[in-house]
Copies of this chain bind each other. A is one copy, B any other.
Amino acid sequence: MLDDRKLAVLRAVIEDYVSTTEPVGSKSLVDRHNLDVSPATIRNDMAVLEEQGYITQPHTSAGRIPTDKGYRLFVDKLSSVKPLSVAERRAIETFLAGAYDLDDVVTRTVRLLAQLTRQVAVVQYPSLRISTVRHVELVRLAPARLLLVLITDTGRVEQRAAELPDSIDEDSIAHLRAVLNTCLDGRPLADAASVVVDLPSKLEPVDRPNAAAVLSILLESLVERHDEKVVFGGAANLAARDFSRGLSDVLEALEEQVVLMRLLGESGDPASLTVRIGSENMVEGLQSTSVVSTGYGAGDQVLAKLAVLGPTRMDYPGAMGAVRAVARYVGQILAES
């Protein structure tokens, strides 16, 4: 149905369109790429490609531009991930190595990805799901107010304030802290939740009301609010490309945590490099954009996702290379710490 040359034509159309932003015609195709056929032949091929829905013309008597379906075929069959240059790899390594904080790692990753791809980068904070509890700290902020700090083995720190029904003295706090730490230390967060539920029975009845308040907050930290945090950067890159109308929509979508979460959640296999093109994105406001995403984490556990977002007309091989490389390095950093 589509012979080799037609595929080559599709690839050429996409490459040219991506680099020039302009509809590409049969003539310019033949001399930019050394296809050994005449423009007329290419025209016939293009007609077929158009009929099959891989390319389209913005108006009669203009060149062709790829459709989402065309990009899809390109990504699936016609291109391969472009590995980064040595310089780029080195840059990633040194830039990420300088981070001293989970926050810092994430922030730097976003900047890095945005810079490498000249697109918008989206990075999710590593999930707490499979980390284990390292320490629980309780600090009294006011007579009936505690600060609860949960430290995990991955070095992540979660903090929450808890309002208590009654005031609490330092002894009770110390006791509660001791109980919590002996029960929870070393436990995966997922298990910890079930442990926490059973805890009240181990405490003095007097302490229970306050403990209950602390524990319910702790529970929330353990199970609920984890994977929520997502940051993005490189919005300036959006403005630089033309995008023109719709930019506002895209920016709006990016500023919605929920939307970003959905965006990252959509890709099927969490671990592998996936590409969602234009209308394949169900997220409204982002249907004229493409998303290249992958999971990352320490070792082979997927702790979170990161992605690059740009116009459907983007350099897929390059973006895929950057995403894959950055994900790997971030994984290394996380594994070390």
Residues of A within 8 A of B (CB): 100-102, 134-135, 137, 139, 141, 145, 147, 149, 151, 153, 155, 157, 159-161, 233-236, 238-240, 247-249, 251-252, 254-255, 337
Contacts and interface: CB of A to CB of B under 8 A. Distances in A.
A144 B149 CA distance: 23
Given A149-B157, A155-B147, A255 B239 contact: no
15 contacts: A101-B159, A101-B160, A134-B141, A137-B149, A137-B151, A141-B155, A141-B337, A155-B161, A157-B157, A157-B159, A234-B255, A235-B251, A235-B255, A239-B251, A240-B248
Copies of this protein in the complex:
2
Q: Interface residues of A: mostly helix, strand, loop or mixed? A: mixed
A151 B151 contact: no
Contact of A139 (B135, B141, B254): B135
Instruction: Report the 7 A-B pairs with minimum CB-CB distance, sorted nearest first.
Output: A236-B251, A239-B248, A236-B252, A157-B159, A239-B247, A135-B139, A240-B248
A101 B161 contact: yes
Nearest to A217: B100
Contact of A161 (B147, B248, B251, B337): B337
Given A234-B255, A248-B236, A248-B240, A139 B151 contact: yes
